[in-house]
Chains A and B, each alone.
Chain A
Amino acid sequence: MDAVYRFALRLTGEPDAASDLTQDTFLRAWENWDRYTPGTKAKSWLFTICRNLFLRRRERARRHDEIVTAVADDDPRNVSRESTVFLAVKDRDPEGAFWSDVVDARILEAIEALPPEFREAVVLSDLEDLSYAEIAKVMDVPVGTVKSRLFRGRRILQERLYQYALSEGIITDEGREA
């Protein structure tokens, strides 16, 4: 249940809405128990229900002034293999030790600030340990799309958290703080 709650929290961005969404997810799951395919991961199934409920609700809540969401660019060819953050720190902190000094709340904030498509991929993979195939099923996209969204989401996060680490003095231009 914690996993569903965490996922709901990442989708909604606030605890009350996440509790409601979690509760509704379990109710819906209970009602549809006969549609659960034995052998598939229960967690994935619950995430799928949770996500569909969330999307349907957001659709309903959407006002006349259409919220313009940035369309995720899923083309893997547009993804650079290089990591700008790695290149920036490789001389002073090549093994990225500074990541462990970035506080949890800041990481979660940065995840919540990601465009939804990237956020879902990162949450389901890095936070909830689902496989690419399982994520593809939850998000209803091909595995290749999952990979590129996950990759880009991680890159964006790295850049934002690196900027934060610089501003907080967790890592400096001269080297890592002792």
Chain B
Amino acid sequence: MTWTDDLRRILQRLRGERPEAQPPGGIECHEAMAKIFDWLDNELDPQEAECVGEHLQTCARCYPRLKFEQAFCEALKRASSNETAGADLQQQILDALVEEGYTTD
């Protein structure tokens, strides 16, 4: 802590202001917002993921946005999860491979 920090705190107290609190996760909202998809997509390194995650999950302003994007991504995933190629296609592919001269063993 430098003397300028001390001075700022003293001035804040004199003005009747509460000292600035550390933002959740140690990062500001705009930084967390910029990385919201990186976090949801598991693309951050563990240390950064922890900060961003803590911010998004504890900040009253950012938390709804996190839930909103999460619900959206989950809906996308769910939409195609029931699609399968059908039993025929697997057999067709095996047949085609055999026809090309490959053996199944």
A positions within 8 Å CB-CB of B: 1-2, 4-6, 9-10, 19, 22-23, 26-27, 30-31, 81, 83, 86, 89-90, 94-97, 99-100, 102, 104, 107-108, 111, 122, 125-127, 131-132, 147, 150-151, 154, 157-158
Contacts and interface: CB of A to CB of B under 8 A. Distances in A.
Q: How large is the interface on B (under 10, 10 to 19, 20 to 34, 35 or more residues)?
A: 35 or more
Nearest to A123: B80
Contacts of B65: 83, 86
Interface of B: 30, 33-34, 37-38, 41-43, 64-65, 67-80, 82-86, 89-90, 92-93, 96-97, 100, 102
27 contacts: A1-B90, A1-B93, A2-B83, A5-B89, A9-B83, A19-B85, A23-B93, A26-B93, A26-B96, A30-B102, A81-B33, A83-B65, A94-B67, A95-B64, A95-B67, A96-B67, A96-B69, A96-B70, A99-B71, A107-B79, A127-B76, A131-B43, A147-B37, A147-B38, A151-B37, A157-B72, A158-B72
Contacts, number: 109
Nearest to B102: A30
Given A2-B85, A9-B83, 19 more contacts: A1-B93, A5-B84, A19-B85, A26-B97, A27-B93, A31-B100, A81-B34, A83-B69, A86-B69, A90-B64, A94-B67, A96-B69, A96-B72, A97-B71, A100-B74, A104-B82, A108-B80, A127-B77, A131-B42
